[in-house]
Amino acid sequence: MIDTERATQNINERYAQAKELEKLTQTQLDALRTTLQAQNWHRTLFDSAIGFILGIASSFVGSVIYAKWRQRRALE
């Protein structure tokens, strides 16, 4: 019973929060969406650079492992 009451209270709180968003005008809602979706260009550049560097590093490691494996197979 206590768990059910807590769940009901949680649902009612979330419903009240959703009702508050309903009160926003369309302009405010568009501004809120833009703000939430906006991403810092520094962060995007950093993420891309890290991904590029990790891609090169993993390719290098894979090449070394493959070369060692191929060399070992040639010796057998």
Each residue's pLDDT expressed in tens, for the chain with a length of 76 residues? 788 888 899 998 888 888 777 776 778 778 878 887 777 788 889 999 999 999 999 999 999 999 999 999 888 7
Domain definitions of the chain by residue range: 1-38, 40-76
For the entire predicted model, the pTM comes to 0.48
- CA–CA gap between residue 6 and residue 1 (Å, rounded): 9
